[in-house]
Amino acid sequence: MTHTLPHLSVRQWSLAGLAFCILMMAVALGLEHIGGLEPCPLCIFQRVAVLAAAVVFTVAAIHNPRGRLGAALYGGLSLAAVGGGIAVAWRHLWLQSLPADEVPSCGPGLDYMMDILPLRDVVSMVLSGSGECAEVDFLLLGLSLPGWTLIGFLVLALAPLGVLLNAFRERQRVEAPVESP
């Protein structure tokens, strides 16, 4: 017995991805503004990844390409944004797992760095980590926020993978030999 994933359109997969991005941002903003948790630079980079994926999902939902090229393009772009978020969340978890004596020292704030440094240098400094990113401010069921964010990104990855599956299915349909009656 074989099970197949439902055949959803690019628009349907994109709307599902966009809805999950909205949920992720709502949780992040709720924790910040209601829970009083200030985001560290790596948290902000994770938010940028969610927003980048949301933008791609929005454009893909509006465009709703029928061909495999469009599906592959949107699937690839959104998967790149989600993959970037996965990488940053993973890095954040790694920083939080370091022993106290190996945690990098706290650097300048992100706003300050953005004001005085080129973007490339800011990204490099943030990804190399700072002490404030290694702090664990919140645990839920034994997982810190970057752990939950990583899980969120892994779930979110299902949407671009679904879009890419559409492109692959379209390719198979186009390349399948036509059966004669």
- Report in angstroms the alpha-carbon separations of 155 from 1, 9, 91, 151, 163: 26, 18, 18, 6, 14
For residue 157, give the DSSP letter.
T
In the prediction, which pLDDT does 1 show?
A: 44
Q: What is the pLDDT of residues 60-70, one digit of tens each?
A: 999 888 777 88
Indicate whether 132 pLDDT > 60.
yes
Torsion over CA: 109, 111, 113, 116 (sign) = negative
Token pair listed for 32: 């910040």
Enumerate residues 6+ apart whose C-beta is below 8 A from 59.
74
Q: What is the pLDDT of residue 2?
A: 46
| Mean local confidence (pLDDT), 108-128 | 66
Taking only the tens place, the pLDDT of each residue in 144-180 is 888 899 999 999 998 888 888 877 765 555 554 555 5
What is this structure's pTM?
0.74
Cα–Cα distance between 181 and 165 in angstroms, integer? 29
- Range name among 5-14, 51-60, 123-132 with the lowest pLDDT average: 123-132
| Residues 51, 175: Cα–Cα separation, whole Å | 36
- For tokens 């490339």, what's the residue? 120
Distance, in Å, from the CA atom of 167 to the CA atom of 176, rounded to the nearest integer, reads 14
Which tokens hold the place of 128? 């190399």
